[in-house]
Each structure stands twice: as C-alpha cells, then as structure tokens.
Amino acid sequence: MSADAVSEVEALEAQERNLILPRFTYEDAWTLGTLLVRLARERRAPVAIDIRRGAQQLFHCALPGSSADNDAWIDRKRRVVERYGESSFLVGARFRAKGTTFEDSSRLDPDRYAAHGGSFPIAVEGAGVIGSVTVSGLPQAEDHALVVEALERLHRPAS
C-alpha cells in the first residue's frame, strides 16, 4: 500500500467522522439540495443532484449540461453507499489502496454499482447512516468535494 493511498483513505474516513449530523429532516434535505444547486450554478457545473432518506427520494435536480447518464451514475454510486455505509469515493479508495479496483475485486455488478466519488452517506448521531446525497456530472473527486462542501456548510451553518 502506498503512503498516498493510505493518506487518501484516512482523509476520507475523517471526513465521514466529522460530518455526522445531529438530525436530518425533510427541511434539512431541502436546505442541502438547494445549497448544492446554488454552489453548482455558481460554478456552472453540469450536475444532477439526488438526496434520499432510506428508499425515499427527498430531492432531485438536474442542471443544464447534465443528462440521463448522470441519473444512472447517481443510482450506481448511491447503491455503493447503501451497501457499504460509506462514501462511494472512500470505498473506491480502499480498493485502490489494496492495489486493485472496485470493478475487479468487489464481485458486484458494475452496471449496478460504481465506487466513484460523488455519493456520501447521510449519518445522524445515534441513528447511523439514514440516507445519501449524490452528485454526478464532474470528475469524481470534484463530485465528492462538492457534496462534502455542502454537508460542511449544513453541519456548521454560518453564524
């Protein structure tokens, strides 16, 4: 395992530990979704955004430049979060740190699962992972970073 790969995994694990929310309501889903839309519009990012609590879709938006392909990627990345309880980027990073890929070693159908950045677990104190927030349309590290930025802002609102 390379030092860079270990560092990446550790950094991604720390993000997840630091982004456990005190609660996640329907209003919080709206706030998070509209924040992601605002950030994406400011950057002219051609993304689709999806927020779920369990099986229920609470928010979805497709911005100009996105396509139905982005919705398919959202589904594939979200399934990784649902299965592993961790961000799709972290799951992929763990496989890369072992010198392999998710596609080669997970034994999961790559048409249904994608361990690419952009889907992040919504974890609530005392309840664990209750849903996911997913962005698709940018390179995977940027999809992931956009979600993390929005969750950080939701988690620590400006005073």
What's this model's pTM, rounded to 2 decimal places?
Answer: 0.94
Average pLDDT over every residue of 122-148: 97
For 136-152, what is the mean pLDDT?
97
Structure confidence by residue, pLDDT tens digits, 37-73: 999 999 999 999 999 999 999 999 999 999 999 999 9
pLDDT, averaged across the chain? 95
Q: Please report the DSSP string for 53-80 in residue order.
A: ETTEEEEEEE-TT--HHHHHHHHHHHHH
* Residue percentage of the chain with pLDDT more than 90: 92
Helices (H), the chain: 3-18, 26-42, 68-84, 88-97, 102-105, 140-155
Among 125, 119, 117, 118, which residue's Cα sits nearest to residue 24?
125
Report pLDDT for 5: 78
CATH of domain 3-155: 3.30.450.150
CA–CA gap between residue 36 and residue 119 (Å, rounded)? 13
Q: Which residues contact 25 (CB under 8 A, 6 or more apart)?
A: none
The pLDDT tens digits of the residues spanning 87-112 come to 999 999 999 999 999 999 999 999 99
Q: What share of the chain has pLDDT > 70, as a percent? A: 97
